[in-house]
Structure 1
């Protein structure tokens, strides 16, 4: 079991918003406890540090078959799961199983852009993917 406590990010995949031939695939994140984490689960394909001089283009990195399993705990922000994928290379095969994250004693939210896959155990994610 891995525990993240009061960190900015939990499990994260980030790519720059620029052309690339790279890929991220067949990744498994499992058996994780989040305690007051700002971004417990995040895919950011529009990464640009400090939001300065950001290119106006999509990431060329292809993200597929990423699984999040048995992840529980608390988020420091309302959006606990953020899947912000590239318009030109949408994320595919994203799987969330047994993910249970709360925010201020209530259910946390999820935000998905250009992401496809399936989720169980987290209603907001089921609507998101």
Structure 2
């Protein structure tokens, strides 16, 4: 992931660098660190991802041949929710018992048999950013 921004600290909490941004390969390279213990803290997550603010510890060892210490950081994609409200077109009254399928924009079915509750609602959580649509598969009793 490119565009993640990190600060670099010594183990004792001394900030050594800030604004270190991952490149197109998702990497940050820091040269000329003396042997010792360090950590990165992510300060800005890439667009569409949640911030991972845990300490990412690593050690630079004394060595006679060059050895690169590596640290891995992961980010979870941000997710959102959708609420569908089913109402009577004349009265505006909430309608329970309507059944829907949920699809991604490309036509991939994500869920089926989603039924409106007593408030006439269906709530779907943990959707990744993108375009979606509902298709009604069964109307409530007495409705088309």
Q: Shared fold (TM-score greater than 0.5)?
A: no
TM-score with structure 1 length normalisation? Answer: 0.25
Whose helix fraction is larger, Structure 1's or Structure 2's?
Answer: 1
Structure with the larger RCO, 1 or 2 (CA within 8 Å, 6+ apart): 1
Whose strand fraction is larger, Structure 1's or Structure 2's?
Answer: 1
Bigger CA radius of gyration? 2
